[in-house]
Structure formats: structure tokens, C-alpha cells
Structure 1
Amino acid sequence: MALIMLRLALVVVVLVSAGVTRPCQAATLFSAFARALGPQEEAPHTVVHQYEGFEERLYPAKKWACTKQNGSYSTGDQIDVFLRLFGYIGGDNSKGEKLVMGTPVSVECRTEEEHKVYSACFFIPEAAQADPPAPTNPRVVITSRPDTTVFTRKFGGYAQDEDTWNKEAEDLSEVLTEAGKSFTRNLVFWNAYDPPFKFWKRRNEVWLVRQ
């Protein structure tokens, strides 16, 4: 996912050079990328219990800016998805506000019947939680995630493809099953916390929702 963010920056440069992206739109995207490298605000949570090899956390109800992708999540899909979200925090919203970059970048992967639905989300900072600006892009929506208790553990490196996330989810599932924990099987969250230019001590997490 971090490498995807780096590709996004390169895509913006190419689009601007080719005249495909409007100057005002490009400015908001560049602004968003700059904030991704600066101070970031993490979604609040409480550690309910620290187990051997994983932990249980409670995330209170909060608002997130999300965009949905049905059926596939290729590199091209990811670029399109994140450009929408970066545009929103860069000022592509009803108030023209530039928002602090929230973490994690959280992708909800839900299995519905025989296909998957992906919703990529940015956490909306606390200062804007009560009245977040409305997205001007109709494919970006403000979503209220309810109180959610998850099981998770941290892993490093560049989690750059779906196989990496799926493998971590499978491994964590085995750990939880051995520990006798019940969790939702058709829903998993992929979460990345670091900008692409952080090379060491990177933080990624899979969240599995407690039943």
C-alpha cells in the first residue's frame, strides 16, 4: 500500500505534466501528499486486553471519509481510490478545507455472496468530526463507523499487494482460533500507518472484528 502511495505521487506529476489534471485539482492533491509526510492524527482507541501475540482494541464510533470499489482492487483501482481520498483532504470538499492527514489508511474488505467489496477510508481528524465538510466528489462519502472491537497485531515492511494482507489475515485467524476467540469471517480491515518514504519500523495491521 505504501508503494501505491508513492505511485500516486508520480501519477499526479505525470497528469499535471500532460495537462490532464486541472491546476486547482493538482494543487489540492500535492497539498494532501505534503501533509501525508507531516503530522498525522491516529484514530483513537483503547487497548482492552494484551494477549500473547495479539491484542484486543475498542475503536469508538467515528466518522471516516470513504470510497467504494466493487469486485477488484488492482494497482489501477488503488490509484483511482486514493486520488479521490487525497483530493477530499486536500480541499475537494464543500468548505474548501485542507484536513490533517488521519491514520490509518484503512481498507474495509467485505465478502458479499461470491464477490468482494472494498471501501478505502481516511480517518477524519477530531477537529472536523462534529461537522466534516461534504465531499464534492460523489464517489467519496462520509461514513460513520460504529463502536468496533477488533483483534489485531502489528507487522512491518511494505504491505504492497492483496496477497500480503490476505496472508496476514489468515495467520492472525489461526492465532485467534487457537486462542478460542470468535471473530467475523467475512470482514477484514487492512490498515497502513506510514508514508511511503518511511523505510524502517513500518507499521501495518489487519483488524478482525470480535463477535
Structure 2
Amino acid sequence: MIVFTGAVVVLVTMMAGAQIGNSTEPRSFYTETEEYLLYYPICSGNEYEVRYYKPSVWVSTKVQSYFTNFAVTKGILKLYAYMTGDNEAGVNIDITAPFIVKVNDTSCLWKPCVYVISFLIPSAFQTNAPKPLDSTVSLQDSEMHGVDIVKSYSGQMVSVVSKAQASHLKKLLNSVLASYNNEYHYNVAYDSPIKFKNRHNEVWYLVQGMPVCEHE
């Protein structure tokens, strides 16, 4: 087991470059958009990776629903409208990757859960994104920036699959006594709904304190 100490802080402080754009080391799952969220790998664990993300601006909407898939579909439609002109400037904004769904890990019991669906704003609009016309859509600074624990998987990002992936990642992290925010996670998709093969999805948990990596 490797527990990172002050070295992570130094590494993160020294990292430079844009947080959104075209990577000089493109990942195989960057295939459908010209720009995407860049990250800096810190270390690898058993079936997961620890990454650093710089701060970024996203457009987001909250959707209440008993069903995750319904909430995601409704949220995507609202955000797509914003990106295609439903904003104060009336401009089209390029779609980037990934899009992210914040999911509460606690049970909502007999009431609908609240999901936060977010699209990444491209680099050209990071500092001057137009205000949404829809009052349920807003621009937000990313709360995902910093050190994240990431597990990748393929296929469709449907509710039952993403929930199982999040649960499996929690078990992996608990087995190495990792410190992370276990109240919620992010479901992350890099592909459009019309892509059926070679899809790439991720589940993210936010690190609390220093990350722990276990090498086989």
C-alpha cells in the first residue's frame, strides 16, 4: 500500500496548463468532441486511478425523480437547449466531454432523489459563458476539481450498472482504508447516446485528505 503525503500537494501546486482542451497525450476514449476535461494522473490502485482536476466552469441543472434514467434524460435536454442557443447571447456552444451526474449515495426512501446533471463549458467560454434563459439551469464552478478517485467501465451508463460500479469502487476503497466523501458520487459519460460500441464511462469519488493507492 502507498499512502501519499506532502508530495501530492507539491505535485498539484506545480501542475500547469489548461484544464480543458486537446491533450498532448490523448486518451483512447476521447473520440466525439474537439475538447474534453483534462486531468493529471497521480497514481493507480486496484481497479481505480487517482487523478487531479483543475477548477472549471460547468452548466448544471437539478432534477427530482424516482428514476435515475428519467432524471438524466430530462437534465440532458435542458442543458442541450442551453448549449444550442437558449442563453442570453443566443449563441451555440460546442459540446465537450464528459457530462456528469451527481448522485446521492443515501437512500431517498419514499421521496424522489435530487440529481445534478452537468455539461462542461468549452475553453472559449470558460470565463465568459452566457447566462442561461431557463431559470432551472445555472453556471457553476466545479466542485469536482481537486483529487478524484476514478473507476472506468464500458457499456451504457444506465442506473443499475452505474450503481453497481459505484458500490464496487466503495468496497475497493474501504478495503485499503482510503478516505473519501462517501455521501455522493459522480456518474461520468464521455459518449453521446447514439454511440453504441466502445463506450467509456466512469464513477468518481472525491478524495478527503491524502489518496491511497494499492499496487498489485
TM-score normalized by the length of structure 2: 0.74
Change (3 A) 1:149 1:158: same
Q: CA deviation at 1:169?
A: 0.3
Offset at residue 111 of structure 1 (A): 5.1
- 5+ residue gaps, structure 2, are 1-30, 209-216
Q: Following TM superposition, by how much is the alpha carbon of 1:186 offset from its aligned partner in structure 2, in angstroms? A: 0.6
Report the Cα offset of residue 42 of structure 1.
Answer: 1.2
Aligned pairs (5 A) from 1:22-171 = 39-110=33-104, 114=108, 116-146=113-143, 147-160=145-158, 162-171=159-168
User: Structure 1 stretch 129-138 or stretch 71-80: which is displaced more?
Assistant: 71-80
CA–CA separation in structure 2 for the residues paired with 1:138 and 1:182: 36
Q: Which amino acid aligns with 1:89?
A: M
- Would the aligned equivalents of 2:33 and 2:97 in 1 still touch at CA under 8 Å? no
CA shift, 1:80, in A, is 2.3
2:33 is matched by which residue type in structure 1?
Answer: P
The AA in structure 1 aligned to 2:192 is P
TM-score for the superposition, normalised by structure 1:
0.75
1:23 alignment partner in structure 2: none
2:206 alignment counterpart: 209
In 1, the alpha carbon distance for the partners of 2:71 and 2:164 equals: 21
User: Using the alignment, how far apart are the partners of 1:106 and 1:202 within structure 2?
Assistant: 15
Distance 1:77 1:210 in 2: 26
Give the structure with the higher percent helix.
Answer: 1
How many correspondences in the alignment? 174
Q: Please, which runs of 5 or more residues in structure 1 have no aligned partner?
A: 1-36
Cα displacement string for residues 148-173 of structure 1 (whole angstroms, at most 9, x for unaligned residues): 3111121001122x221111000011
Give 1:59 shift: 1.3
Are 1:181 and 2:175 counterparts? Answer: no
SS in structure 2 at match of 1:101: coil
Aligned residue identity for 2:136: R
Distance in 2 (CA, whole Å) between partners of 1:150 and 1:168 is 15
CA RMSD across the alignment: 2.0
Does the Cα contact within 8 Å between 1:54 and 1:151 map onto a contact in 2? yes
How do residues 3-22 of structure 1 correspond to structure 2 at under 5 angstroms? none
Mapped contact 1:85–1:121 kept (Cα < 8 A): yes
Q: Greater strand share, 1 or 2?
A: 1
8 Å CA contact retained: 2:65, 2:71 = no
Amino acid across the alignment from 1:154: S
Between the aligned residues of both structures, percent identity stands at 25
Of the structure 1 ranges 69-78 and 99-108, higher mean CA displacement relative to structure 2 is found in 69-78
With over 3 angstroms needed to count, the CA separation of the structure-2 counterparts of 1:38 and 1:203, relative to structure 1, is closer
SS of equivalent to 1:102: coil
Q: Alpha-carbon deviation of 1:197?
A: 2.8
Asked if the contact 1:111–1:117 (Cα under 8 Å) also holds between the matched residues in 2, the reply is: no
**What is the CA–CA distance in structure 1 between the aligned matches of 2:189 and 2:84, rounded to whole Å?**
19
- The aligned amino acid for 2:146 is T
